[in-house]
Chains A and B, each alone.
Chain A
């Protein structure tokens, strides 16, 4: 199949080349290159051991080379992916493979937009369908197939797609198809309000081999848990954005009736009357999500709420963790960038979650204030999975310095998110400071420090970072994370140091890193997020 595609690309390439001589001005080429190289240095004290990379492979890496071209209304692209002793796919293992990771062709004919190849898209906020790439976790669930979009009037469009979800260099055994209608309406150009309604539908048809496998598994259950499997599952979504003056309100409701999926929390009967957790179920799923925001005169507020029940939607029902996800449910917690503030992050729950979040920002002269509150619970609202209060205030003296100070308080249910049964709920308080000083127009120095007070789990940590920038080329950093008050075990340092050099559109980086390990359990499966010890080199280029 891939050879066939290569031939098509070759023909297209020849077509481009021949036309290049005639109409070179119209041809636009672009792309990018990313390379990560790792040197694994065994350090059993922090748990950087017992995987092939530390035991004997020592070197590993991955790279992506992408070329895109536009000519005479045609758009096309090709990406070549290579993995060598990579631990991106599975932190416990080593992955080596290479090949064409993506190709696509696209052409607009009047009001019709046609695409074939690897297609990225989403419906609404992605709750029933999102094909996207998240390279840091090696998620790339592009649709391999065809899509068409018809802009039947200036404000309204309908699009449809059909294909299979990408699975590394092959695809999963199910067919996906769907359509979405998106629109926009404003009474007049001067009207203070407008709406952007939409509707989406996705169908998944399982391959016969998958259904046979499901039938065999369900057939092995006790009669009380048995049901007859089926080939097709559907999901629907209705959404709208209402804009009125400075207020924007988004609302979406998604429904997935009678889907067949794996529920790790469902009780399965065993022959002698005992029960065990985890089984395939036939149940409906739904998500209600809404976000309302107001922004004007330096003040901004966003309120979000979400209710999720049974919305695990995958290309094959037996997949777990981040494999084969058809949909994407928006997370409902602040994404923190400071290292210690980001240690405990609540993974989105597909089966059982009630969450809300408020974010307030206010800028006054040289001051900026930011407040965030998020709360995540089970569907009964009785069990709290996660709670975060974040506050930050910064003062900026233009061309001189910026000072930031803040504090974060977290409540994190380790039992829920890490699967550590009976573990105490983690409660942290983390104050932080950051100071950026402009020495000159091209030289700057930035320092940040956090202290995480944590009487349980991994104990209390302190993290400090010093960064020196010499624009536009050099950036030097040195940092250390230290468990100043461990709950158990000895005190350890997790130092890192790095240098990066930019030249035009090229960026080269080299870092020495020691990174903390952690157990993550999801879908009934536990896995070790890697402790890392070693060097990381990177090259990023855009052209």
Chain B
């Protein structure tokens, strides 16, 4: 019996030795070099929809990540903060409610979600991701870089005029095809507002006077966009004009804080955003 035990312990020791031998595998293995981030030259402006809310404790981390992306690519990124679902209720009583039925409609339009914060990058379903919406803000730079490598299939130019008395804004949009693509092209226009100060839940407690930026306030076009072409033709221009009168409100709808966001996409089955642009209302 003792012999059996000795033999068994010898075998066990052998396995432990083999295990310890493999212990240092990481040092043997050829480590993978990190890619070098390059300045975008494609002329692409990408749309990032940030799914957030005042009652979402982890969302300030997502906003921070997006602010860093905006600092890095100020001319190539447009951010829209989509406040919807239960986490978008006010963190304290008396704060303005930033959730909005059209924000909820965008959530529903983009499909499955896991939690917040999440972000969609040109509404692209990346091959290594389960959904269009992606969590883990530390990874978001990667999806931005990947989209910025691609040239847009169409360019989008925006101009506006604003009547400060009537608060009516007129938006002129001109899309120019850069490729021939036999897919329908849709136009989207919306209003966002920054510098809305509310209480925000965070992982360390409530943050008073938190600056809510790029908050989606109004979707002027239908949620799937307005179809402006049955197919994209290289060199062809597509023009549209939209008018919207900003509501008056004691707290919200400050015209100097509002921006117009416009973007082109394929149809509602594809959803992919071709090019985005942004301009201040005032």
Q: Which residues of A contact B (CB under 8 A)?
A: 47, 50, 55, 90, 92-94, 152-153, 155-156, 158, 179, 181, 183, 185, 187-188, 197, 199, 201, 203, 209-221, 226, 228-234, 236, 238, 257-258, 262, 268, 270-272, 274, 276-280, 318, 320-321, 415, 419-422, 519, 521, 524-528
Contact = CB atoms under 8 A, between A and B. Distances in A.
B99 to A, nearest CB: 11
Contacts of A519: 86-87
A230 B65 contact: no
A92 B113 contact: yes
B183 interface: no
Contact of B58 (A158, A209, A230, A521): A521
Contact of B16 (A199, A232, A527): A199
Nearest to B60: A276
Main secondary structure of the interface of A (DSSP, over half): mixed
A230 B26 contact: yes
6 contacts: A50-B104, A158-B11, A218-B34, A278-B138, A421-B202, A422-B201
A320 B118 CA distance: 13
Interface in B154-205: 201-205
Contact of A276 (B1, B22, B64): B64
Interface residues of B, number: 59
A541 B111 CA distance: 35
B251 interface: no
Contacts of A212: 32
B12 to A, nearest CB: 5
A199 B203 contact: no
B15 interface: yes
B53 to A, nearest CB: 9
Given A209-B128, A521-B57, A421 B142 contact: no
A210 B127 CA distance: 11
Q: Nearest 10 A-B pairs (CB), nearest first?
A: A422-B205, A220-B141, A228-B31, A219-B34, A525-B115, A93-B112, A527-B115, A216-B142, A276-B64, A421-B57
B11 A215 contact: no
B250 interface: no
Given A211-B32, A228-B31, A229-B31, A422 B15 contact: no
Given A419-B57, A524-B58, A232 B29 contact: yes
Contacts of A521: 57-58, 115
A228 B32 CA distance: 6
Given A199-B19, A203-B22, A226-B34, A318 B139 contact: yes
B112 A201 contact: no
Contacts of A197: 12
Nearest to B22: A234
A226 B35 CA distance: 11
Interface of B: 1, 4-5, 8, 11-12, 15-16, 18-19, 22-23, 25-26, 29, 31-37, 56-58, 61, 64-65, 67-68, 71-72, 85-87, 104, 108, 111-116, 128, 135-139, 141-142, 145-146, 201-206
Nearest to B26: A258
Given A153-B8, A220-B37, 11 more contacts: A90-B113, A187-B1, A221-B138, A230-B29, A234-B22, A236-B19, A272-B68, A276-B137, A422-B201, A422-B204, A527-B115
B136 A278 contact: yes
Given A93-B112, A280-B138, A422 B68 contact: no
Contact of B138 (A229, A268, A525): A268
A40 B123 CA distance: 30
B201 to A, nearest CB: 6
Nearest to A89: B112
Nearest to B55: A519
A279 B138 CA distance: 6
Given A257-B23, A524-B58, A93 B86 contact: no
B114 A181 contact: no
A275 to B, nearest CB: 8
A230 B32 contact: yes
Given A220-B141, A258-B26, A201 B19 contact: yes
Nearest to B62: A276
Contacts of B85: 50
Contact of B8 (A183, A214, A271): A183
Nearest to B143: A216
B136 A318 contact: yes
Contacts of B142: 213, 216-217, 220
A378 to B, nearest CB: 15
A230 B32 CA distance: 6
Contact of B65 (A233, A236, A276): A276
B208 to A, nearest CB: 11
A320 B138 contact: no
A232 B25 contact: yes
Nearest to B59: A526
A229 B32 contact: yes
Contacts of B33: 215, 228
Contacts of A188: 1
B15 A179 contact: yes
A55 B142 CA distance: 34
A311 B62 CA distance: 25
A139 B141 CA distance: 31
Q: Among the interface residues B1, B12, B32, B135, which one has the most CB atoms of the partner chain A within 10 A?
A: B32
Contacts of A277: 58, 61, 203
A239 to B, nearest CB: 11
Given A201-B19, A213-B128, A276-B61, A47 B86 contact: yes
Given A153-B8, A271-B71, A526-B87, A216 B23 contact: no
Nearest to B7: A153
A385 to B, nearest CB: 15
Nearest to A279: B138
B61 A526 contact: no
A270 B29 CA distance: 30
A215 B33 CA distance: 7
Contacts of A528: 86
A475 to B, nearest CB: 35
Contact of A420 (B64, B116, B201): B201
Contacts of B1: 187-188
Contacts of A153: 4, 8
Nearest to A50: B85
A390 to B, nearest CB: 30
B165 to A, nearest CB: 39
A158 B15 contact: yes
Contacts of B8: 153, 155-156, 183, 185
